[in-house]
Structure 1
Amino acid sequence: MRYLLFIILVALVQTVNAQDNWENPKTSEMEDSQIIIEKNRQIELPRATRNFQQVPKIKKDSIQVPVTFTIKEFQPTLNSIKPKIRVLTVQDEKLDKLYANQVKAGLGNYGATYLEAFLANKRNKNQSYGLHFNHQSFAKGAVDGNNSGSGYQLVKPYGKLIFDKTVVEADAFYERHNNYLYGYDSTVTEIDRDSIQRTYHTVGASINLKDRNLEDAYQYGIGLELYQLFSNYEAGEGSFDYSITNSFELSEEFEVFLNSDGFFSKHQFNDNEYSRNRSLFRIKPGVSYELGKLRINGGFNFVYENDTLESMNRLHVYPDVSLEYSLLAKVSAKAGIRGDVREVRLRNLLAENPYLNDSVVLSNTLMPFELYGSVYGSFSSMLGFDAGFSIASVKNNYGYVPDNVYPEIFNPVYFSGNNTEINIYAGLTAQLNPDWKAALRADYFYFNLDNGLEMPYRPGTQLVFNTDYLIAQKLTIGLNGHFQGSMNPGFTPTTDTPNLNDEGEIPAIFDLGLKFDYKLSDRSHVFLHANNLIAKEYQYYYNYPNRGFRILAGFIYSF
């Protein structure tokens, strides 16, 4: 401890002396000096040697060591579960009893008799068959009592078989039409009723095959029909008709198709002393492409036929292009251009005009060009509509003219020049509730013929409507009407020509009908139909007035 105190004391004395020397300028001044610092360090390393030889490969040992795996199957054993839960089952509802058979019968003025029957099998998912029978006749007409009567009968058995991949439908039929040429001169007192009778019978059969699975990419359909028409005036027609459809869906948007149809027929006339073989063969290839809401259909129509007035044995090639666009969820529009041959056969002419001559000329109608468009759909579940137009260029279109010798019979007349045919139409369907429904359609027709001619027996306007209303769950009331504009009679009228209007035309037609249906039970009804309420004996063909006010009452029974 003493040494430590001595050291501290000496240090203090030196410190004081140093402070005292700061005040003496001679002793406190520092001498001039120069300090030089040199750095001469250098690192030297010996030169290294490098080896550029490749690294030697390591030899693999080719010895394979076998490895085996042993998997032990583990099968757990579980005790069976016996839940004490009772599953409730709902008993299937019983189907309502099906009354597949129905008979309708009625009587009316003008000696009217009506009988119609529908007979069919019970429910069966693989087959159905039945029989349709229809009889309608009038013992008298508007002129000379039973000299203007008429009748129609139909017997048609049918059947349908459903297999795993194919549906087969077949039927046979017999039809009988009976009419009288009562458009004779009323000044004639003696008329042989048998000589003015026109009766023709048609017997035939058809079979159709089509694909059952609509989800398949390939779809097909085949239809065959054979019929023979006989008449009491030794004119007839036999025909074999066919139709084939093929479509193949390459993708959801793209589809190709190849369709074909036609007929081979034989027309007998002039008491069967003469006959003519007629044929038409049509092939329609094309494609269909869907692009969003737009569907494009394009193809060609190849038609070979042998009996137009223009020439014989002609092959016609026409376009067939259309566009379909979905405007709204339930509204669509369609437009297109196409060409075709309208086949004309004796069976079709007799269905349109039963007062034909014994021997008539049959020639197909050419339609090289037709532009058409339509808008259709529904605004709601209660209102639907369909409106459109068509403008066509037509050759060999036909009408009817009275015979020069016997004006009570008609001959078809063909217009060989190019003529324009226009149709504008609009239709509405409505169902405001399950008890009320109605339908309405209006058409406008225009025919532009050469040399200022008018198309005979083709009206310019037509309006058809029909409505039904259910009252008190048992009584149904219906109202229907038919309006048709005036027509050209097919000849040049004179000043004293009867049954024509001031313009020398067949007057317009307006027919109004009313019907009542009362439900006695689930299986029986009674009905009352009244037609031509205006009681006007209008005529469609010259000198062939229709019956006036008509009434038919009857009974309907299902079993």
Structure 2
Amino acid sequence: MKPLRLLVVASCFSLPVLAQKQSGEIDSQTFEIEKKKKIELPPANRLYNKLQPFTSEEDNRKLNYEFRTPKLTLGTPKITPTVLPVNGENKEDEGGNLNNYVKVGGGNYGKIYGETFIGNNTEDLAYDIHFKHLSNQTGPVDTQNSANSENRLKLNGQYIGNSFKLGGTAFYDRDNYYFYANRSTPNAEILKGNIRQTINTFGVQVGLDNIDNNKFIDYSIKTSLYRLSDRYSAAETDWGTNFSGSVPITENIFALLNADAYVSQRTDAETFKRNLFSVKPAFKFSYDAFTVTAAFKAVNETDDRLKINRTVGFPQVEVDAVPLAGVHVFAGYGGDLNRNTLRSLLGENRWLGPNVTIANTERSRDIYGGFKGELGPSFQFEGKVSYATFKNFYGFNNDWLDSTKFAVVYDADYIKVLTVSAQVGYQYQNIVRSTLRGDFYDYNVKRLEAPWGRPRSTVTWNNSFVFSKKMFATIDAYYIGGLKNKNFQTGTTHNLKSIVDLNLKIDYLLTRNFSAFASINNLLGKNYERYLYYPQQGLNFLAGLSFQF
């Protein structure tokens, strides 16, 4: 990338806040329900709070979620309109499950869609390959100058031994899009090559997990490597390794250990290294309906460009109690150093300018508490309040020299952020599922004029329905409010309109092997702006056919 002066507040940094894609659908990054394939595996191991990748029990259909430490980021419009699996819930049919599929479709804005999944599994081996393409030949403004496309290729493999699980993944992602903000001149006066951006990412990951409950030491270790590059001069190579383990001391006391190592090299106008190493020993005491976890996390970070080499420590403690059957009440105190990379920042805001400075965000003195539970098999609820101190809290704002690109701005002071989150879920006999979640934020920024690009409130409402063995549908609603950005060339602060987005998806099984699908996004037809000067597609649709085998 060519050198470009970035908007810097207080700390002379610049980072991004939320990634924007083209399909008028907003995705929550803090909540996820996974539909899992049916593979018989040994019982889950003892690593606490560890998600198991496969289950085959009836509980697999149950709503299952938990609050995670808020990253203060939010999903943005997805480029990929998703549809339900062609067989709904992978229900058993004559001749067994049909997990392999090919999907093709198209829609307005010159939308072209293709996706395929091919996999196989035996008693101890599972592997698959997944490819997806989605492109829009035109966009919300200036026709082809706001087009976009994405390509995803992913290979997975997993081997189950008598006492261990070995898995690996390799992937390649390619995203192509244009900086189409403020495009008011005719097509002929714009050279597409001057506003085009292409992001290529290649990565591999290998993991080894214990699955033998009789082993004294439980463990999980994963290592991953990825390489990201853009159309200009930016690139990032990142190698990370993560270890977690546990050892029982007594029947009620366990010793836990987590360790992480990240070695990263960033290239743009200059080349520099950014590393982070951490270790977190912990003890967990459980007795009847009462659990206490105490830990201390030590983190060392180095950054050649920012001349940083420091080690910080964060004491952590959490108490969990079960006053009533099916109800948990918890409270805790802690902190961490949230790692930021070029890849993670582009994942939040794809409209970043060149030579973005990347710095980690320190979260300290996080005091939180909440509750979670369920009332019967159909109703689940959670609530959490967090009051934390952040340093290098960042937001995204239009650059002061080029408003079509975004800079990342930091508050270098210690600021307070209050987060209130609540979530309820309901399901009825695997026919109806509904989840409603709300997050509300109060930012006490000091050196920033405002928390640029940060929402004050977000609400998501996800619903799925099984009308029959042949017809499945989802209806999703999203709300984002309180967004602000500023044009520093004119000195004008813009309070962006609240985003209200409605999406409908339908899948209809024609035969055992064929189905038709349709996805309609942004039913209200609003060209909302998640970021200033970047309107999104209005009413858009995708329809096609699926073949499952």
Which band: TM-score by shorter chain?
0.7 to 0.9
Aligned-pair CA distance for 1:470: 2.2
CA drift of 1:447 comes to 1.0
Match of 1:334 among 322, 330, 336: 330
Partner of 1:246: 245
Q: Does residue 1:382 correspond to 2:378, yes or no?
A: yes
Q: How many Å separate the matches in 2 of 1:541 and 1:309?
A: 29
Judged with a 3 Å threshold, the aligned counterparts in structure 2 of structure 1 residues 510 and 139 are, in CA distance, closer, same or farther, namely same
TM-score normalised by L of structure 2: 0.80
Gap change, CA 1:332 and 1:400, over 3 Å in 2: same
- Supply the distance in 2 between the matched residues of 1:311 and 1:391 (Cα, whole angstroms): 30
Equivalent runs, 1:278-289 vs 2, <5 Å: 278-289=274-285
2:536 is the alignment partner of 1:537: no
Which amino acid in 2 is paired with 1:275?
A: T
Q: Give the whole-Å Cα distance in 2 for the aligned partners of 1:487 and 1:543.
A: 13
CA contact (8 A) 1:309 1:396 kept: no
Identify the match of residue 512 of structure 2 among 480, 505, 522: 522
The separation in 1 between residues aligned to 2:324 and 2:167, in whole angstroms, is: 37
Q: Conserved in 2, the CA contact under 8 Å of 1:219 and 1:246? A: yes
Q: CA deviation at 1:105?
A: 1.7
Shift, 1:187, TM fit: 4.3
2:400 touches 2:487 (CA, 8 Å); kept in 1?
no
Structure 1 partner of 2:100: 101
Measure the CA separation in 2 of the matches of 1:356 and 1:473.
Answer: 46
Q: 1:487 to 1:446 in 2, by over 3 A?
A: same
Distance 1:450 1:398 in 2: 12
**Per-residue deviation at 1:493?**
8.7
Match of 1:423 among 412, 419, 423: 419
Contact 2:394-2:410 within 8 A present in 1 as well: yes
Secondary structure of the residue that 1:450 maps to in structure 2?
coil
Could you tell me how far 1:97 is from its partner in structure 2?
A: 1.9
The Cα offsets for residues 452-493 of structure 1, whole Å up to 9 and x where unpaired, read as 721000010001111122224322232111110031114469
1:556 correspondence with 2:546: yes
Calculate percent identity across the aligned residue pairs. 30
C-alpha distance 442-356 of structure 1, shift in aligned 2 (>3 A)? same
Aligned equivalents of 2:367 and 2:230: distance in 1? Answer: 39
Residue 159 (structure 2) aligns with: 161
Q: What amino acid is aligned across from residue 356 of structure 2 in structure 1?
A: V
Greater RCO structure (CA 8 Å; 6+ sep): 2
Q: CA RMSD in A?
A: 2.0
Equivalents in 2 of 1:207, 1:191: separation in Å?
Answer: 45
Instruction: Give, in angstroms, the shift of residue 422 of structure 1.
Output: 1.6
2:4 alignment partner in structure 1: none
Consecutive unaligned residues in structure 1, runs of 5 or more: 1-92, 498-502
**Mapping 1:10-25, distance limit 5 Å:** none
Structure 1 residue 133, shift from structure 2 partner: 0.9
Q: What 5-or-longer segments of structure 2 have no aligned partner?
A: 1-91
Residue 478 (structure 1) aligns with: 474
Q: Residues 389 and 409 from structure 1, CA distance in 2 versus in 1: closer, same or farther, beyond 3 angstroms? A: same
Quote the residue 2:111 is aligned against. Answer: 112
1:144 to 131, 142, 146: 142
Task: Spell out the pairing of 1:65-80 with structure 2 (5 A cutoff).
Answer: none
Cα 1:308/1:392, change in 2 over 3 Å: farther
Deviation at residue 96 of structure 1 after TM alignment: 4.4
What residue number does 1:547 align with? 537
* Aligned counterparts of 1:490 and 1:214: Cα–Cα separation in 2: 56
- Structure 1 residue 336: Cα displacement: 0.8
Alpha-carbon spacing, 1:312–1:146, altered in 2? closer, same or farther (3 Å): same
2:191 alignment counterpart: 192
* 2:99–2:119 contact (8 Å) kept in structure 1: yes
Partners in 2 of 1:327 and 1:474 — Cα distance?
A: 43
Normalising by the residue count of structure 1, what TM-score does the alignment of the two structures yield? 0.79
Say whether residues 1:455 and 2:447 are aligned partners. no
**Aligned CA distance change for structure 1 residues 363 and 452 (closer, same or farther; 3 Å):** closer
Q: Is the 8 A contact 1:225 1:240 kept in 2?
A: yes
Q: Residue 128 of structure 2 corresponds to which residue in structure 1? A: 130
SS at match of 2:145: helix
Q: Counterparts of 1:370 and 1:179 in 2: how far apart (Å)?
A: 38
Aligned-partner Cα distance in 2 for 1:410–1:452: 16
Query: Is contact 1:400–1:490 with CA below 8 Å preserved after alignment?
Result: no
Q: Is the Cα–Cα contact under 8 Å of residues 308 and 364 in structure 1 kept in the other structure?
A: no
Partner in structure 2 of residue 182 of structure 1: 180
Stretch of structure 1 that moved more, 203-212 or 306-315:
306-315
Cα pair 1:457 1:490 within 8 Å, conserved = no
Summarize the Cα distance change of 1:439–1:332 in structure 2 as closer, same or farther, 3 Å threshold. same
What is the aligned counterpart of 2:484 among 464, 483, 488? 488
